[in-house]
Amino acid sequence: MLNAAQEVQKTGEVSAEPAPGFDRGSIPVLSLRNIHKAFGDNVVLRGIDLDVSLHEVVCLIGASGSGKSTLMRSINLLEQIDDGQIFLDGDDISDPRIDADKVRARIGVVFQHYNLFPHMSVLDNVTLASRKVLHIDRNTAEDKGRVMLRRIGIDDKADCFPDQLSGGQAQRVAIARALVTNPKLLLLDEITSALDPQLVGEVLDLVAELKREGTTIVMATHEMTFARHIADTVVYLESGRIAEAGPPQQVFETPVYEGTKRFLSRVLDWVS
Amino acid sequence: MPSSFSDETQLSNIERERRRYRRRQTQGSVLVSLASTLVFAGLVALVLSRSPGWERVRQTFFSSHYFGLSFLPVLRGIANNVKILAFATVGVAILGTLIAAIRTTRSAVLFPLRALAAVYTDFMRGVPIMVLLFIVGFGVPGLGLTKGRISEILLGTIVITMAYSAYVAEVLRAGIQSVHPSQRAAARSLGLSYNQTLRLVILPQAIRRVIPPLMNDFVSMQKDVGLVSVLGVVDAVRAAQIETAHSFNFTSYVVAALLFVALSWPFIWLTDAYARRRRQREESAGVV
Ligand SMILES: Nc1ncnc2c1ncn2[C@@H]1O[C@H](COP(=O)(O)OP(=O)(O)OP(=O)(O)O)[C@@H](O)[C@H]1O
Ligand SMILES: [Mg+2]
């Protein structure tokens, strides 16, 4: 369902089209080339290269401060990178001549602390981007929004305000809000780490369903069990570099890099 | 489990005892505040009526004859206050928001504008409104830029707008800065532009938070509109002055005072009602 809508959006897009005969299907949804980023003297990203293909789910793991959030914020152009290139569907979005607002509309983001807009109802939160960025009229946008809320199982809360929701419900609304514009790519930054253990499940179930529907996802997470189940690729970040990457079985069971082993033994011990 | 918490017969003894205790406490507080109010009012009345000059003061300030005589002229005067107030409010809302928006930008390109806005707010808040009225009210017409005479009402409106947009800009700026940066990040991530984010996400939250101080500024602006009488505008204060000059009786000032209070009453009431509603909404989250 989601993918049909994505196709529609793709044809309606105004961004630069590739040369005729060029097959969009074969290029990655997201390509990171040699990404560098520093905050003052603190060098956070030291040359990240990563390809994310259509329908792929990539889980970023790594110690606190290893740069997971910074990488996601850079992909979404909330941070300006210091070197390297970011390609979204083949378009170089690190080019300063590109319209950053249009790029952000093609990427859905969910943050750790939901960041719902407290002065808007749940439905208004979900439909805001449709109405103001895609310029869809209110009725159509609300119909779409209600469909989305039904999918995440909280259509009865459409007229509530965010402070009347539980943490799990708020986070699911945040996901719905990010999805309603049919983004090419969904970035999830530790979306369960602010939740009570029993609420984590309901949010992760939703992510698993998104994967089944073919959404392309990059997520930072501390939920190793979940990463192992859902990820197509697990990427271990250490001091601003990709220290190890591969399918979950490989990274979790037979890691080659010493740092990965140490990190995993630390977090897995801590979990059990 | 009681079927209803308002039907006391269904409640546990402990809860019934708690409710009795709370009721007794409430009754006690009401009695104390009632008694203290009565004692205070009695004291004031006693001091006033015992003072030797009370009879003369009563005749000069609270004469019913002069009250009736000056009521209409002063009322006509306050119509001018309302006119200035209405236009100045619109002006302040636009200019104040603009300055606050400029002062909260971050980009290096806008530094000169930001500095200008900072100087403006500091200057306007430092200069007494009376002085500003003299400078603009007599200086601008002196420039001779227009053929005809510039109306004093227009000049007064401009001065009030200039002074109060600085105050309001600072209040709004504080409100904008109190909205957590993650709200901006969330809005921009959806693809909203800088301006859309400010207009749809940041300002609505900021304004809600600063409504009480904004209302305060509004009521105080309403009073300061009275100062435009120095430009020769026949506002309520000037009208009262004219009446006094005829009758040597100061009751007209009391009329003006009452009319000013009456004018601000709806807004004070509105502010309180808003604060009450917010408190109730917040209190529904707990008892503390
Ligand atoms: N806006 C900023 N200004 C300065 N330094 C920053 C900023 N954001 C992040 N950093 C620094 O960048 C480094 C990486 O932070 P980041 O938030 O990307 O880590 P993370 O991997 O997401 O960690 P966590 O698992 O705790 O979320 C940290 O050292 C942090 O102090
Ligand atoms: Mg992080």
Domain-located, residue B46: no
Chain B nearest CA to A223, separation (Å) = 23
Q: Give the predicted TM-score (pTM) of the model.
A: 0.79
- pLDDT at res. A1: 43
Q: What is the dihedral of CA B1, B5, B8, B12, to 10 degrees?
A: 40
| Nearest residue (CA) to ligand 1, atom 10 | A39
Q: Does the Cβ of A211 fall within 6 Å of ligand 1?
A: no
Chain A nearest CA to B182, separation (Å) = 6
Q: What is the CATH number of the domain that holds B196?
A: 1.10.3720.10
Q: What is the mean pLDDT of chain B?
A: 90
Is residue B142 over pLDDT 70? yes
Pick A132's closest partner by Cβ from B189, B192, B205.
B192
Same domain (yes/no): A217, A84: yes
Domain-located, residue B280: no
Nearest to B123 by CA among B110, B111, B136: B136
Give the integer Cα–Cα distance in Å for A184 and B224: 56
Alpha carbons within 13 angstroms on the beta-carbon side of residue A85 total: 11
A185 touches chain B (CB under 8 A): no
Inter-chain touch B204–A119, beta carbons under 8 Å? yes
Domain-located, residue B20: no
- pLDDT at res. B140: 87
Same domain (yes/no): A223, A174: no
A107 touches chain B (CB under 8 A): yes
- pLDDT at res. A103: 93
- pLDDT at res. B283: 57
- pLDDT at res. B159: 95
Same domain (yes/no): A92, A220: yes
A78 touches chain B (CB under 8 A): yes
Q: What does the H/E/C string look like for B113-149?
A: HHHHHHHHHHHHHHCCHHHHHHHHHHHHHHCCCCCCC
pLDDT, tens only, B126-136:
999 999 999 99
Inter-chain touch B205–A117, beta carbons under 8 Å? yes
ipTM of predicted complex: 0.82
State mean pLDDT over B85-104. 96
- pLDDT at res. A89: 93
Domain-located, residue B53: no
pLDDT below 50 — which residues of chain A? 1-22, 272
pLDDT, tens only, B255-272:
999 999 998 888 888 888
Inter-chain touch A117–B187, beta carbons under 8 Å? yes
Domain, as residue range, for A136: 107-182
Domain, as residue range, for B119: 66-268
- The ligand whose atoms approach the alpha carbon of A62 most closely is 1
Is residue B144 over pLDDT 90? no
State mean pLDDT over B20-40. 92
Nearest to A167 by CA among A139, A201, A136, A140: A201
pLDDT, tens only, B166-196:
999 999 999 999 999 999 999 999 999 999 9
